[in-house]
Amino acid sequence: MSSFTLDDFSDLIERPDGGLRGDAEERRERQDVPPEALGRLDELAGWLSAAQSAVPVRTVERPKVVLFAGDHGVAGLEVSARPAGSADALVRGVLDGSRPVAVLARRLGVPVRVVDVALDCEPDTLPDEVVRHRVRRGSGRIDIEDALTAGEAEAAFRVGMTVADQEVDSGTDLMVLGDLSVGGTTAAAALIAALCGTDASVVTGRGGSPIDDLAWMRKCAAVRDSLRRARPVLGDQLRLLATVGGADLAAVTGFLLQCAVRRTPVILDGVVSAACALVGQRVAFRAPDWWLAGHDSGEPAQAKALDRMAIEPLLTQGVRVGEGTGALLALPLVQAAAALSAELPVRDEPPVRDDMPVHD
Q: How confident is the model at residue 158 (pLDDT cuts 50, 70, 90)?
A: very high
pLDDT score for 281: 98
pTM above 0.85, yes or no: yes
Share of the chain above pLDDT 90, in %: 79
The predicted-structure confidence for 264-305, as pLDDT tens digits, reads as follows 999 999 999 999 999 999 999 999 999 999 999 999 999 999
Whether 356 has a pLDDT exceeding 70, the answer reads: no
Domain that residue 230 falls in: 63-332
21 assigned to some structural domain: no
Is-catalytic flag, 14?
no
User: Residue 257 half-sphere exposure, CB side, CA atoms within 13 Å?
Assistant: 31
22 assigned to some structural domain: no
Mean pLDDT, rounded, for 207-231: 90
Across all residues in the chain, what is the average pLDDT? Answer: 92
SS3 content of the chain, % helix, strand, coil (to 5): 55, 10, 35
Among positive and negative, which fits the CA dihedral 41, 42, 43, 46? positive
53 assigned to some structural domain: no
CA distances, 269 to each of 66, 68, 189 (Å)? 11, 12, 15
Whether 98 has a pLDDT exceeding 90, the answer reads: yes
- Closest by Cα among 260, 328, 322 to 294: 328
Mean pLDDT, rounded, for 17-44: 86
Alpha carbons 287 and 307: distance in angstroms, whole number: 15
pLDDT score for 25: 84
Whether 358 has a pLDDT exceeding 50, the answer reads: no
Three-state SS for 228? helix
Count: domains in the chain: 1
Mean pLDDT, rounded, for 229-242: 96
* H helices present in the chain, as ranges: 8-12, 18-29, 40-52, 87-95, 100-108, 128-131, 150-169, 184-196, 200-203, 213-230, 237-244, 247-261, 271-283, 300-309, 325-343
The predicted-structure confidence for 136-145, as pLDDT tens digits, reads as follows 999 999 999 9
Backbone angles phi, psi at 112, to 5 degrees: -125, 135
Mean pLDDT, rounded, for 343-359: 62
Mean pLDDT, rounded, for 80-89: 93
37 assigned to some structural domain: no
List the single range of 85-89, 147-151, 193-197, 316-320 with lowest mean pLDDT: 316-320
Q: How confident is the model at residue 31 (pLDDT cuts 50, 70, 90)?
A: confident
254 assigned to some structural domain: yes
pLDDT score for 353: 47
- Closest by Cα among 278, 228, 284, 231 to 252: 278
Mean pLDDT, rounded, for 142-149: 98
Q: Between residues 44 and 348, which one has the greater pLDDT? A: 44
326 assigned to some structural domain: yes
Whether 132 has a pLDDT exceeding 80, the answer reads: yes
The CATH code of the domain that includes 179 is 3.40.50.10210
The predicted-structure confidence for 105-124, as pLDDT tens digits, reads as follows 999 999 999 999 999 999 99
Q: How confident is the model at residue 2 (pLDDT cuts 50, 70, 90)?
A: very low
Q: Which residues lie closer than 8 Å to 306 by C-beta, 6 or more apart? A: 274, 293, 296, 312, 313
pLDDT score for 318: 86
Candidate list 152, 167, 299, 323, residue with the active-site label: 323
List the single range of 2-6, 23-27, 164-168 with lowest mean pLDDT: 2-6
List the single range of 24-33, 73-82, 304-313 with lowest mean pLDDT: 24-33
Share of the chain above pLDDT 70, in %: 95
Whether 102 has a pLDDT exceeding 70, the answer reads: yes
Determine the length of the chain.
360
pLDDT score for 17: 86
Whether 360 has a pLDDT exceeding 60, the answer reads: no
pLDDT score for 61: 93
209 assigned to some structural domain: yes
339 assigned to some structural domain: no
Whether 204 has a pLDDT exceeding 50, the answer reads: yes
